[in-house]
Amino acid sequence: MHFPILTSLITLPIVGAILLLFVRDDERSEGTVRAIALVVSTLVFAETLLLWYHFNAASAEFQFVERHAWIPAFGISYFVGVDGISLLLVVLTGFLTPVALLSSWESVHQRARAFAIFILLLESAMIGVFVSLDLFLFYVFWDAMLVPMYFLIGIWGYERRIYAAIKFLLYTMAGSVLMLLAILGLAYLHNVATGQYSFDLLQLYQLSISGQAQFWLFLAFALAFAIKVPLFPFHTWLPDAHVEAPTAGSVILAGVLLKMGTYGLLRFAFPLFPAAAVYFAPLLATLAVVGIIYGALVAMVQPDMKKLVAYSSVSHLGFVVLGIASMNMQGTQGAVYQMIAHGISTGALFLIVGMLSDRRHTRLIAEYGGLKNVMPHLVAAFLIVTLSSIGLPGLNGFVGEFLILLGAFKWNPRMAAFAATGVILSATYMLWMFQRVNYGTVTNEKNARLVDLRPREWLVIVPMIVVVVLMGIFPNIFLKPTGPSVERMLNQVQQGSAPARIEAQATSPEPRVSGVRVASPEPRAPK
C-alpha cells in the first residue's frame, strides 16, 4: 500500500481550511491567515509536482488508484486515480491556487479568513473532480465546488456580484441535475445488465448501451458540460461571473473551472456513450465553431477588459471542444494541451487586469492609455501574456491551437477553415485592446503616477510567464504524459461506436435484456 497521495491532495486544503477556523478573524491576524493559506496551497502544488514526477508517462492506465467502499449497497466507492489527461489538470489546479491567493492580497481585506477558507475548499473540490473515477463521487465534488465559488463571487465581487453569483450557481446546477439523473440511469442500466448497481467508471465503460439510451444519456451529460465549458449558446453566465468575480475568483474560474466541462466531455460523455458521441460530434463542433467566431466578435466590441477576456475564453474553449469533437489523436491531444495553455494565459490575463483595476478601480479600456510609459514592466508582462493568448509560435497558445486545427482539418476541413478565422480574430481583438491600453500618450491624469509591478506582483506574474514560455518551447513535456491516455480514450470511442461491438460478448451473466445493446453504429434519433 503506497502513500495515498491523491487523498492527501484532496484533504490537505480541507485541513488547512479547518486550521484557519482556529485563527482569530480580525485585522491583526490577516497576515497569519494569508501565510497559512499560502503555505498550504504551496504544499499542495509541491505535492502535485511530486505526483507528476512519479507518474509513469508511458502508461495509459489510471495511476495512484485508491478504492474504498463508500455506499456498498449501491456499488458506490471512493475511487480515485489519475491518467495523463487529469494529471495535468491537477497540476494546473495546484499551480493556480497559490497564485490566485497571492493575487488577492491587495484587493481582499474584508474577511480575509473566510476568503482563504473558501479558496482552499474550492481547491479541494476541484482536485476531487479531476481525480474521481466513480461517477457518484465525481458528482459530489462537481456540485460541492459550486458553493465556495458562489461565495467568492457573491461576497468579494464587484457591483453586480449577487446577480452574477446566483446566475452562475443556478445555470451550472440546472445542467448538472440532469446529469445526476443520467448517472442514476447509467447505474440502473448496469443493474439491469449485471444485477448490480455500479457507479464505477471503469465498469461503466464496459457496459454496452442501446442507441436510444445513449442518445438521451449523452444529451444529459453533454448539457451539463456544455454549460460549464461554456459552449455557445449556453455561455451567458460566463461574462457576468467573470466580470463580477474578484481577481482570484476569475483566475480560478477561467483557469480551472471551465476546464471541467471539456474534461467531462473527454472523460465521461465521449467514452461512455461512443455511438452517441459520434452522432453528436458534428453538432458539438458546429456549436464550438460558432462559439469561436461569436466569442471573438463580441470580445472585439467590449469596453471592459475583463469582459473582453471572458468572451475570449468562450472563443478559446470553442477550440478545445472542436479538438475533442474531431476525435483523432492530434485534435484531442491539442485539446488537452489547450486546456492547460488557456488556463495559464487567461489566468495571467485576469491577473494583469486585476492589477490594473486594483490601482485604478476601473476596468474600462477607455480609462487607460499610454501605460507603457508609466509602468514598463507590467506592460512587458502584459505583452507576453497577450501574445500567448493570441497563439504566437514559441508561446503556449500556439501548440494547442495548431494541433486542434490539424486534427479538425483531418476530420472536417470546412470546420477547420471556419475555426481558423478565430485565430485571426483573436489577434485583432487582443492587440487592439493592448494598443488602446498601453500605447500612445497618457491622456488620463490618473494614469500618470501608477506604480509599476510590486514585489508581490512579480511573484505572481513571473511563474505564469515562465510556464507560458516553457509550454511554448518544450511542448513535449506536457504532451508526453497525455499521449497514451488520449490514445486509450480514442480507442475506446472507436471500438464502442464500431459495428464489431454488436457481436462482442458482454460480461453480463444475465440473459440479454432488450435495450441494453448497441443497435447500430449510427444511433437512431428518437422518433
Interface map 490-519 toward another protein (x if CB under 8 A): ------------------------------
Peptide bond into 148 cis (omega under 30): no
Figure out which of the listed residues 102, 126, 131, 187 binds another protein, where binding follows CB under 8 A. Answer: 187
DSSP state at residue 441: -
Figure out which of the listed residues 19, 59, 70, 410 binds another protein, where binding follows CB under 8 A. Answer: 70
Task: Check binding of 318 to another protein (CB under 8 A).
Answer: no
Figure out which of the listed residues 72, 455, 511, 526 binds another protein, where binding follows CB under 8 A. Answer: 72
Task: Check binding of 158 to another protein (CB under 8 A).
Answer: no
DSSP helix/strand/coil, 69: strand
The one-letter code for the residue type at 462 is V
CA 438 to CA 412: how far, in whole Å? 39
The three cell numbers locating residue 11: 484533504
Figure out which of the listed residues 2, 73, 514, 525 binds another protein, where binding follows CB under 8 A. Answer: 73
Figure out which of the listed residues 16, 81, 98, 154 binds another protein, where binding follows CB under 8 A. Answer: 154
Q: Quote the least distance from Cβ 170 to another protein, whole Å.
A: 6
* Choices 142-150, 375-383, 443-451, 509-517 (CB under 8 A): range interacting with another protein: 142-150
Phi then psi dihedrals of residue 27, to 5 deg: -60, -40
Q: Which of 323, 527, 478, 316 is nearest to 409 (CA)?
A: 323
CA 163 to CA 502: how far, in whole Å? 50
β-partners of residue 200 are 134
Figure out which of the listed residues 62, 150, 311, 411 binds another protein, where binding follows CB under 8 A. Answer: 150
Cα angle vertex 18, ends 166, 344, to 5°?
Answer: 55
Using CB under 8 A, count the residues that bind another protein: 36
The one-letter code for the residue type at 230 is P
Q: Quote the least distance from Cβ 74 to another protein, whole Å.
A: 7
Task: Check binding of 60 to another protein (CB under 8 A).
Answer: no
- Could you give the count of Cα atoms lying within 13 Å of 156 in the half-sphere of its Cβ? 24
CA 504 to CA 513: how far, in whole Å? 15
Q: Which of 272, 281, 339, 337 is nearest to 138 (CA)?
A: 272
Figure out which of the listed residues 74, 205, 432, 458 binds another protein, where binding follows CB under 8 A. Answer: 74
CA 213 to CA 280: how far, in whole Å? 14
Task: Check binding of 151 to another protein (CB under 8 A).
Answer: yes
Task: Check binding of 178 to another protein (CB under 8 A).
Answer: yes
Q: Quote the least distance from Cβ 222 to another protein, whole Å.
A: 16
Nearer of residues 207 and 479 to another protein, judged by Cβ: 207
Q: Quote the least distance from Cβ 69 to another protein, whole Å.
A: 8
Figure out which of the listed residues 184, 380, 392, 506 binds another protein, where binding follows CB under 8 A. Answer: 184
Chain position carrying cell 447505474: 187
Figure out which of the listed residues 20, 91, 155, 356 binds another protein, where binding follows CB under 8 A. Answer: 155
What's the first-to-final CA gap in the chain, in angstroms? 52
Figure out which of the listed residues 177, 300, 420, 442 binds another protein, where binding follows CB under 8 A. Answer: 177
β-partners of residue 132 are 80
- Interface residues with another protein (CB under 8 A) are 25, 69-74, 136, 139-141, 143-144, 146-147, 150-151, 154-155, 161-162, 165-166, 169-170, 173-174, 177-178, 180-181, 184-185, 187-188, 191
